Amino acid sequence: MNRLTQAINGLVCIAALAAMANPATARVTALDILDEQNPGFDSRVFGEAGTYRRISAVAHFAVDPDDPHNAGIVDLDKAPRNADGEVEFSSELVILQPSDPARSNHRLFYEISNRGRNLSFPLLNDSPFAVNPTTAEQAGNGFLLNAGYTIVWSGWQPGLSDDLVDLTVPIAEGVTGPSREEFIFDSDDVVKTVALTYPAADLDPAKATLTVRVNERDERRSVEGLSFKYINPQEIEITRPADLPAGAIYEFIYPAKDSLVTGLGFAAVRDLVSFLRGSPGHAAESPVTGIESVLGIGISQAGRFARDFIYQGFNADEGDRMVFDGLMAHIAGSRKTFVNYRFAQPGRYSRQHEDHAYPGDQFPFTYAETFDPLTQRSDGILNACTASGTCPKIIHSDTDTEFWQGRAALVALDPAGNPAPIPENVRLFYLAGTQHYTVAGAAIKADKACTFDNNYFHVGAVMRA
C-alpha cells in the first residue's frame, strides 16, 4: 500500500468516525405512502410536463431535544422519547410530480399549508377552491404543473379534520398552566356552548375566570348575569345578559393540561423539505429526486408561519444547509404566529376587533434589524438566518386588508415610524385596491356588514408574474 493510498484511507476513517460522533439529529425516518395515482388529475396532460403522479403520504420524523438546532422548540424536553432518546412525530403530505421525472424542471414548489388546505392552486392556477385538489378541473389553468414543478404541501398544524393535511405531535408531559380563550357570540343567543382548545386540568369553577368587554381596550368586567359551567373538560356553557351586544368579547382563563409541542411544526417543514431536496442524513427513501432548488410559499396564516420560520432560525437544517432558496410570504402583514408556545393556538391571530393580546403580533415586524423604543430591543426577522448564512430570497406581498387589519405598514417602517432598510434579498409588493383572498371568477355579492359590495378582484395574474 503506497503512502497516497494510506493517506486516503486515513481520511475516510476520520470522516466515518466524525459521522458516527455527530449523527443527524433531525430527520425523516420513514415515509408511508397511503395512496398513489399515476396519472392523477383524471389523466390530464400538462403541456411539456405531461401527466402528473399524485402521492398522499405520511412522513415520520425524529429529533434530538439536545441538539442545538432544536433548542428553541418549546417544551421539546418534556416530550416522550424513543429508545434512542429522540422525540417522534409525523406529518401528512401530498406530492405532485411529472409522471416522467425527466420532464420535471428540477424545482420543488413547497406550499406551507393554510389550516391544512391548499391555497396556491386557486391563487396561481385560477382554479376553483378545493382543500385538496385531485381532479382535472381543480388543477385550474395548470400554471404550476405546466411548468414542470414538483409540488408538495404538508401538515404543520395539529388537530385538524380528516380531509386536511395534519400534524401529529406529542403532549408535553406533566405540564399544566393557564390557557386563555376569547369568544364572540355574534348572535342574540343568551346561552352558548363553546369548545376549549385544551382540556381543563381542574373543573373547579372557582379556579377559572370569565369576563366580558365590548371593545379590546375596554375594562374586563364580571357583570351580573354572566356565568359559565363546565359541560366536560373541553367544553363550557356561557350564559350572558341579553342586553350585551352580539360582538362583545368574552375572555375565559382556566387551568389547562395536555399542552402539545406545536413548535415541532417548524421542524416538520424544515426536515421534510431538507429530505425532499436530497440533503443527506435522512433514513427514509425519497420518491422525489433531482431537485436543484426549492421555492416556498405561505398564504395568509401560512405566510405568517413563513416569517416566523425564518425568524426562529429554521431555514438551516440539522446540517446547517439552506432549506428554502426562495420564500414568498403572501398576505401576512407584519405578523408572525402563535405556534412555538406552551398551550399554543396556531389558528389564532390578531384581528381588527378581537384576539389582540395573543402572541404573533409582536416585535420584530420587518426583515432588517430595527430598534423598538417600547421594548428597548434591536431585532429583525432575518437575524438568525443572517448569522447562519441561510437567508433565502424573499418576496413579501400584501393587499389592502393587511394594512387595515395586519399592520402591514410595519413591514416597511421601524416602530418609531421611520422608513426601515430593506435587505438586498427582500422585495416588498403592495397589491393596492385588493382584498385578502379571492378565487378567480368569484361573483360580487353584498355583505350586510359592509356599506359597499365586496371587491372580488383576483390577483392571480400579478402573483404568476
Distance in angstroms (rounded) separating the CA atoms of residues 293 and 310 = 17
Q: Check whether residue 130 and residue 228 sit in a common domain.
A: no
Three cell numbers at 309?
A: 420560520
Q: Label residue 20 by pLDDT band (50, 70, 90).
A: very low
Q: For 244-266, write each residue's pLDDT tens digit.
A: 999 999 999 999 999 999 999 99
From the number of C-beta atoms within 10 Å of its C-beta (0-12, 13-18, 19+), residue 119 rates as buried
Domain total in the chain:
2
Percent of the chain at pLDDT exceeding 70:
94
Closest CA to 59 of 133, 124, 155, 131: 155
Instruction: Note down the domain range covering 43.
Output: 26-169+262-464
pLDDT for the residue 118 = 98
pLDDT for the residue 161 = 94
Q: Check whether residue 93 and residue 32 sit in a common domain.
A: yes
Give the residue carrying C-alpha cell 376549549.
196
Between 300 and 19, residue with greater pLDDT: 300
Q: Check whether residue 237 and residue 352 sit in a common domain.
A: no
- Is cis: bond before 364, omega within 30 of 0? yes
Q: Check whether residue 109 and residue 134 sit in a common domain.
A: yes
Q: Which pTM value belongs to this model? A: 0.93
pLDDT for the residue 370 = 98
pLDDT for the residue 25 = 53
Between 453 and 433, residue with greater pLDDT: 433
In a domain, 12, yes or no: no
Q: What is the mean pLDDT of the segment spanning 217-239?
A: 97
Q: Check whether residue 36 and residue 158 sit in a common domain.
A: yes
pLDDT for the residue 227 = 98
Lowest mean pLDDT among 21-25, 262-266, 272-276, 382-386: 21-25
In a domain, 8, yes or no: no
DSSP codes, 277-344: TT-S--SSPPS-----EEEEEEETHHHHHHHHHHHTTTTB-TTS-BS-SEEEEES-TT---S-SSTT-
User: Which residue, of 257, 286, 301, is where some domain finishes?
Assistant: 257
Around Cβ 135, how many Cβ atoms within 10 Å?
Answer: 13
CATH, residue 104:
3.40.50
In a domain, 123, yes or no: yes
Q: Is the pLDDT of residue 19 over 70?
A: no
Q: What is the mean pLDDT of the segment spanning 62-67?
A: 97
Q: Check whether residue 410 and residue 305 sit in a common domain.
A: yes
In a domain, 411, yes or no: yes
φ/ψ of 40, rounded to 5, equals -100, -170
Q: For 77-106, write each residue's pLDDT tens digit.
A: 999 999 999 999 999 999 999 999 999 999
Q: Check whether residue 160 and residue 215 sit in a common domain.
A: no
In a domain, 284, yes or no: yes
In a domain, 360, yes or no: yes
Q: What single-letter amino acid sits at 52?
A: Y
User: Please, where are the H alpha helices in 38-182?
Assistant: 120-124, 143-146
Average model confidence (pLDDT) across the chain: 94
Q: What is the mean pLDDT of the segment spanning 360-383?
A: 97
In a domain, 49, yes or no: yes
pLDDT for the residue 13 = 44
Length in residues, the chain: 465
Beta-bridge partner residues of 427: 395
Give the contacts of 416 (CB within 8 A, at least 6 positions apart).
371, 373
pLDDT for the residue 22 = 43
Q: Check whether residue 146 and residue 274 sit in a common domain.
A: yes
Give residue 225's Cα distance to chain centre.
40
Q: What is the mean pLDDT of the segment spanning 184-211?
A: 97
Give residue 419's Cα distance to chain centre.
28
Around Cβ 290, how many Cβ atoms within 10 Å?
Answer: 15
In a domain, 20, yes or no: no
Yes or no: say if 346 and 265 are a contact pair by the CB < 8 Å rule. yes
- HSE (CB half, 13 Å, CA atoms) of 51? 13
Distance in angstroms (rounded) separating the CA atoms of residues 449 and 324 = 40
pLDDT for the residue 450 = 80
Closest CA to 29 of 265, 296, 268: 268
Q: Check whether residue 227 and residue 305 sit in a common domain.
A: no
Q: Check whether residue 209 and residue 298 sit in a common domain.
A: no
Q: Label residue 21 by pLDDT band (50, 70, 90).
A: very low
φ/ψ of 363, rounded to 5, equals -55, 140
Q: Check whether residue 102 and residue 202 sit in a common domain.
A: no
Whole-number CA gyration radius for the chain: 24
Q: Is the pLDDT of residue 10 over 60?
A: no
User: Which residue, of 225, 257, 289, is where some domain finishes?
Assistant: 257
User: Which residue, of 216, 237, 257, is where some domain finishes?
Assistant: 257
Q: Check whether residue 276 and residue 210 sit in a common domain.
A: no
Between 113 and 353, residue with greater pLDDT: 113
